[in-house]
Structure 1
């Protein structure tokens, strides 16, 4: 399990969002307040951010805990951005991928993170492999469930889907193949945010200064934080936030009993 956060709004230092708040993502690496699975997010971390005039984000990722990286403390203090996505990681299973397994994953202008776990990984995903272009599979950054989910999302994005549609369709597809999976997905292209709440917590905050934060849990006690209902797609642009229910493939309709013939 992991914790993640995306931000769009006025330019500010990364640390003001990720380190300084009393319950920041930095603190959530060892003391999350609302995490339902796992306890410590010390198996890696990463942040991706956008600079003015460049649509392709920069990334800084490491395999160890965020609190042990003094270089990140300096970077977060001085680097400023108006859009970012960051995550701290609690690995579902042990692996040797190191920082390659840490979100955010990236392609072009997109940044992506997965908070959750695919049930029955990797065997449960075998039926979905045939729908992924071979070059995408061979280009996976890591051999974990999050990287594979990103590969599924990316195939849809490259096929022309908008971010929200790509996330929603991927969540439903993975949930159908692996019931019980936790699929809180989060992504941004530097101009908008899309996310899903599916099995764990998701919150958002629209700030008076025009900023919007979408996160696994609130980083402070501001009363304006809003919780996103489970099985929901979130789409945010500026301070406009749209919530759309997602259909759970495990929900089956029970047919109504046949009517008794009239006599």
Structure 2
């Protein structure tokens, strides 16, 4: 089980979200489950509308000696980060570590799709053979991202794009775990289908969506299974998938 989070709020050091909190993704890389197959952080630099920028590694997050210093000085008000536990049969290079990116979008997948290489063609539609051959990584997450990215490029809203990917994939693989997380720096879309998902509003300008809540921190709400969450800095909506 991977772990991931997306955050929209005031500009702050990446360390305040990823490495410093007592129940941070950094700590979740070894407890309560082991997520040692890579990690990634994507963020939108403040001020000029640039980004997103990604920092991804194929090593356990606790072994990266550069990360603490970088996370202490890099700042953003929009972040998506993940630690990875690889699905069997997937690649282990850093290209397989979330977040994946397309234009302004950042994407992560928490879960697994059994026999993802053999998904029926009508599930993967409208991906072409050429698109399948140019996947960023050999993994279920990269395939799901290609499916979602194709829909976003066609102009479909983010929640609709994720929901359609989940429905199609779950119809072919009912045992699949499909918690998807997507942001463009101003909005968050997320699905809960099989694994846990929580969100917290610190105030009217800040929201965090994460695999697990922070113990002893008030204000966390569990997203029901088989649900779609849509959030901005000021609003949160949840609807059935």
Give the TM-score normalised by the residue count of structure 1. 0.87
Range moving further from structure 2, 117-126 or 183-192: 117-126
Q: Return the alpha-carbon distance in structure 2 between the equivalents of residues 147 and 236 of structure 1.
A: 24
- Superposition map of 1:69-148 within 5 A: 69-148=64-143
Report how many aligned residue pairs link the two structures.
240
Deviation at 1:176, TM superposition (A): 0.6
Q: Return the alpha-carbon distance in structure 2 between the equivalents of residues 109 and 135 of structure 1.
A: 23
Residue 207 (structure 1) aligned with residue 202 (structure 2):
yes
Structure 1: runs of 5 or more not aligned: 33-38, 247-263
Q: Which residue of 2 aligns with 1:221?
A: 216
Pair 70,221 (structure 1): closer, same or farther in 2 beyond 3 Å: same
Tell me the alpha carbon deviations over residues 62-82 of structure 1, each in whole angstroms, 9 at most, x when there is no partner.
001000001111111110001
Q: Return the alpha-carbon distance in structure 2 between the equivalents of residues 156 and 193 of structure 1.
A: 16
Deviation at 1:95, TM superposition (A): 3.9
Q: Which residue of 2 aligns with 1:261?
A: none
Give the TM-score normalised by the residue count of structure 2. 0.95
Q: Which residue of 1 aligns with 2:41?
A: 47
How much is the aligned-residue C-alpha RMSD, in angstroms?
1.4
Deviation at 1:126, TM superposition (A): 4.3
Aligned residue for 2:115, secondary structure, equals coil
Q: Return the alpha-carbon distance in structure 2 between the equivalents of residues 223 and 54 of structure 1.
A: 32
Residue 6 (structure 1) aligned with residue 6 (structure 2):
yes
Structure 2: runs of 5 or more not aligned: none
Tell me the alpha carbon deviations over residues 113-132 of structure 1, each in whole angstroms, 9 at most, x when there is no partner.
00001122221344434521
Q: Which residue of 2 aligns with 1:153?
A: 148
**Residue among 175, 187, 191 paired with 1:180:** 175
Q: Which residue of 2 aligns with 1:36?
A: none
Larger radius of gyration: 1
Pair 173,130 (structure 1): closer, same or farther in 2 beyond 3 Å: closer
Range moving further from structure 2, 114-123 or 186-195: 114-123
